[in-house]
Amino acid sequence: SDASFQIRHFTSKVRGGFTEFEGTIQADPAKAEMSSVVFTIKTASISTHNADRDKHLQSPDFFDAAKCPDISFKSSQITAAGKDKYDVKGTLTMRCVSKEVTIPVAFTGMVADPWGNDRAGFEITTKLNRKDYGINWNKALDAGGSILADDVDVFINLEAVKKKPEAAKK
C-alpha cells in the first residue's frame, strides 16, 4: 500500500508520502451503502527524501505533527458511481481541522494470494486544497507567484487483506 502526494514547488512538482498508516474496510460488495472505511496516517512519518524539508513539513508551518499527529478519514456514506467506482463521503481531519469530503475510489480487484488470504485493491486519486486545513505557509516570489501551489494531488493505493474469522471459542 502507498499514501503519497505531489505539489507544485517553484516550477516543478515535489513528491512525497507517508510511511506509517493503517485502515479498516468493512465491505459489502452487494450493498455499497452498508460498507465503511476508516484510515489514519501518522503525520510524523512524512518523507520527501529531503530531511530538512521533512522536518519543516512536520512543523507548525505545515502538519504540526506534535500537536496533530494524525491525518484521518472516517466514511459516513458510500455510493456506487459506476462499474468498480465509488463515491466515499466522510470526515477528513488534517492538521486538527475536520471537513466533510467526497473521495472517488476505484476497486481494482480481489484475488486469493499464495498464503490463503483474500486481497482487495483500491485506488484513490484526488485533489485537496491545503489551505482548507489551515496549511497556509508560503512565500511570494520576486518575479510573481509563490513557492507552493494551494492544490495538492493525493494518491492512495491500498492492498487490503481480508480478516479471517476468529475460531470458535471453547
Rounded CA gap, 46 and 53, in Å?
10
R_g (Cα) of the chain, nearest Å: 18
Q: What is the pLDDT of residues 36-61, one digit of tens each?
A: 999 999 999 999 999 999 999 999 99
Residues 6+ apart with CB under 8 A from 64: 43, 58, 95, 96
Rounded CA gap, 139 and 149, in Å?
11
Q: What is the pLDDT of residues 59-90, one digit of tens each?
A: 999 999 999 999 999 999 999 999 999 999 99
Residue holding cell 472505511?
A: 37
C-alpha cell at 22: 493503517
pTM exceeds 0.85 for this model: yes
CB 122 within 8 A of CB 161: no
Q: Per-residue pLDDT for 168 more than 60?
A: no
- How high is the pLDDT of residue 167? 60
DSSP state string for the chain: -EEEEEEEETTEEEEEEES-EEEEEE--TT-GGG-EEEEEEEGGGEE-S-HHHHHHHHSTTTT-TTT--EEEEEEEEEEE-STTEEEEEEEEEETTEEEEEEEEEEEEEEEE-TTS-EEEEEEEEEEEEGGGGT-----B-TTSSBSEEEEEEEEEEEEEEPPPPPPPP-
- How high is the pLDDT of residue 129? 98
